[in-house]
């Protein structure tokens, strides 16, 4: 791996970000086998089997691939990924991803295919023959009637239906209505949700609920204006709190589940830019995102072959949940949604700005959090209560019920 390229990238322009994504994706090219529909990255396991983990790894890379295609720039990756999708969704293929069951991890991974269809439309579907497209559709459509956890997973079904609709495939408004209605039960107010009724309020509210919500509100605003306006207003209100979880240097408070997704903590701001949400300035949003990426770029988060590791700022399995397979960390590629924003947009043409002026003490009632953000101090503190979730998460008490202190020097290996 050319680690110098990763570490020396200025990460200040759209081309810089595009190059950084390319440098992250390139090591995955060596993991492909002809006719296969996934790849194995490490020898660790999750609560689902290795075949699903292989499919997960490939699917998560697509969070970067699809926006890269949407950017209109020439790229060398899409052909092999589309070939893998065709193999994975063909019931006659030995590489078929298979039929899904209740609470199936493969349902999680379907969201990115909804995004791909929604962003690319016929630029994606034209790559398939009639039969291949039917197979792709039928495999994805399993989510329409799937039994899933009653939490952020509901958005995966919405994303698939949004993709179907925008790509001119059969879609079901009732599935969208039903899933939104279910999630209505855990809206708390002032932009905050719980991840399921009475469940955690961590980065999943930003990188799941509001991330998908803003994509939906942007791409389906004309047909569903009332819901789009509600989603935008909730995200706007949430942003007023969420900005406190960032430091001026670009770090984000290490709190809650799935810290191995790393810079996915910035995905919300990428959706804000994508949606052109009128909260903060374009320069503020751009600064938050790019400073966070720069904060991560010199951390030892890649192995010697350039593959993302499981851990946080260095390989560390203690940070993982039992649903983290070797490909799971690539959900951090959600941030590359910003590559689908045109070069001539206000976002890319704006200069980065520092954080806006913030209160030194900020209470987030519905998040059960108090953020201490002292001026001219590298420390940001979170005091939190009411967040204990004894589900299947690992080291839960350390992630939810202790004081979180953010001091960037702590996180150097």
Q: How confident is the model at residue 390 (pLDDT cuts 50, 70, 90)?
A: low
- Cβ distance 307 to 28 under 8 Å? yes
Percent of all residues in the chain with a pLDDT value above 70, rounded to a whole number: 95
* Per-residue model confidence (pLDDT) at position 389: 63
CA-to-CA distance for 82 and 77, rounded, in angstroms?
A: 9
**pLDDT single digits (tens) 35-70:** 899 998 988 888 898 999 999 999 999 999 999 999
Three-class HEC string of the chain: CCHHHHHHCCCCCHHHHHHHHHHHHHHHHHHCCCCCCCCCCCCCCCCCCHHHHHHHHHHHHHHHHHHHHHCCCCCCCHHHHHHHHHHHCCCCCCCCCCCCCCCCHHHHHHHHHHHHHHHHCHHHHCCCCHHHHHHHHHHHHHHHHCCCCCCCCHHHHHHHHHHHHHCCCCCCHHHHHHHHHHHHCCEEECCEECCCCCCCCCHHHHHHHHHHHHHHHHHCCCCCHHHHHHHHHHHHHHHHHHHHHECCCCCECCCCCCHHHHHHHHHHHHHHHHHCCCCCCHHHHHHHHHHHHHHHHCCCCECCCCCECCECCCECHHHCCCCCCCCHHHHHHHHHHHHHCCCCCHHHHCCCCCCCCCCCEEEECCCCEEEECCCCCCCEEEEECCCCCCCCCCCHHHHHCCCEEECHHHHCC
CA-to-CA distance for 26 and 305, rounded, in angstroms?
A: 10
**pLDDT single digits (tens) 231-283:** 999 999 999 999 999 999 999 999 998 999 999 999 999 999 999 999 999 99
The sign of the CA dihedral 314, 315, 317, 323 is positive
* Per-residue model confidence (pLDDT) at position 47: 86
Domain boundaries along the sequence of the chain: 10-355
* Per-residue model confidence (pLDDT) at position 376: 78
* Per-residue model confidence (pLDDT) at position 375: 84
- Cβ distance 259 to 399 under 8 Å? yes
* Per-residue model confidence (pLDDT) at position 340: 98
* Per-residue model confidence (pLDDT) at position 217: 98
CA-to-CA distance for 306 and 28, rounded, in angstroms?
A: 8
Backbone angles phi, psi at 38, to 5 degrees: -175, 180
The architecture that CATH gives domain 10-355 is Alpha/alpha barrel (1.50)
Q: Note the Cα 188 to chain centre separation in Å.
A: 22
* Per-residue model confidence (pLDDT) at position 15: 97
pLDDT at 411 over 50: no
pLDDT at 410 over 60: no
Q: How confident is the model at residue 386 (pLDDT cuts 50, 70, 90)?
A: confident
* Per-residue model confidence (pLDDT) at position 398: 78
Distances (CA, A) of 218 to 46, 47, 141, 229, 284: 34, 35, 23, 10, 20
- pTM of structure: 0.95
**First-residue to last-residue Cα distance in the chain:** 19
Sequence-distant (≥ 6) Cβ neighbours of residue 284 within 8 angstroms: 353, 355, 356
**pLDDT single digits (tens) 342-384:** 999 999 999 999 999 999 999 999 999 999 998 877 788 898 8
* Max CA separation in the chain (angstroms): 61
**pLDDT single digits (tens) 213-228:** 999 999 999 999 999 9
Distances (CA, A) of 409 to 133, 169, 251, 402, 406: 50, 50, 11, 19, 9
Mean pLDDT of the chain: 93
- Cβ distance 273 to 285 under 8 Å? yes
Of the ranges 98-102, 106-110, 214-218, 397-401, which one carries the lowest mean pLDDT score?
397-401
Percent of all residues in the chain with a pLDDT value above 90, rounded to a whole number: 82
Provide mean pLDDT across the span 297-318: 94
* Per-residue model confidence (pLDDT) at position 408: 45
pLDDT at 405 over 60: no
Of the ranges 147-161, 196-210, 286-300, 329-343, which one carries the lowest mean pLDDT score?
196-210
Question: CA torsion 260→235→363→200, rounded to 10°?
Answer: -40
- Cβ distance 303 to 367 under 8 Å? no
* Per-residue model confidence (pLDDT) at position 406: 56
């Amino acid at each position: 791996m050319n680690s110098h390229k990763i570490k020396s990238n200025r990460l200040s322009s759209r081309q810089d970000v595009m190059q950084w994504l390319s440098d992250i994706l390139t090591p995955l090219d060596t993991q492909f086998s002809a006719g296969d529909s996934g790849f194995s990255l490490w020898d660790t396991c999750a609560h689902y089997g290795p075949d699903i983990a292989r499919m997960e790894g490939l699917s998560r890379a697509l969070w970067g691939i699809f926006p890269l295609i949407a950017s209109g720039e020439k790229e060398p990756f899409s052909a092999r990924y589309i070939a893998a999708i065709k193999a994975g969704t063909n019931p006659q293929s030995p590489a078929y991803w298979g039929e899904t069951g209740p609470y199936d991890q493969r349902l999680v991974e379907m969201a990115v295919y909804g995004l791909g269809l929604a962003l690319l439309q016929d630029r994606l579907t034209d790559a398939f023959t009639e039969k291949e497209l039917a197979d792709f559709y039928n495999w994805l459509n399993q989510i329409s009637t799937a039994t899933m956890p009653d939490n952020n997973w509901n958005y995966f079904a919405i994303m698939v239906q949004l993709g179907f609709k925008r790509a001119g495939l059969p879609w079901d408004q009732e599935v969208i209505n039903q899933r939104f209605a279910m999630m209505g039960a855990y809206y708390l107010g002032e932009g905050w949700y719980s991840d399921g009724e009475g469940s955690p309020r961590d980065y999943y509210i930003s990188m799941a609920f509001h991330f998908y919500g803003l994509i939906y509100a942007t791409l389906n605003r004309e047909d569903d204006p009332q819901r789009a306006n509600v989603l935008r207003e909730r995200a706007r209100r949430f942003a007023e709190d969420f900005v406190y979880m960032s430091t001026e240097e670009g770090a984000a408070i290490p709190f809650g589940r799935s810290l191995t997704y790393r810079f996915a903590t910035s995905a919300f701001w990428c959706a804000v830019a994508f949606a052109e949400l009128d909260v903060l300035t374009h320069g503020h949003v751009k600064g938050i995102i790019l400073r966070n990426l720069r904060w991560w770029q010199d951390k030892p988060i890649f192995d010697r072959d350039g593959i993302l590791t499981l851990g946080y700022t260095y390989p560390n399995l203690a940070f993982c949940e039992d649903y983290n397979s070797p490909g799971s960390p690539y959900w951090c590629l959600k941030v590359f949604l910003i590559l689908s924003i045109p070069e001539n947009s206000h976002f890319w043409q704006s200069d980065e700005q520092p954080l806006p002026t913030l209160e030194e003490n900020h209470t987030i009632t519905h998040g059960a959090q108090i953020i201490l953000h002292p001026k001219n101090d590298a420390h940001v503190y979170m005091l939190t209560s009411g967040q204990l979730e004894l589900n299947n998460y690992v080291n839960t008490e350390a992630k939810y019920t202790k004081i979180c202190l953010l001091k960037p020097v702590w996180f150097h290996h």
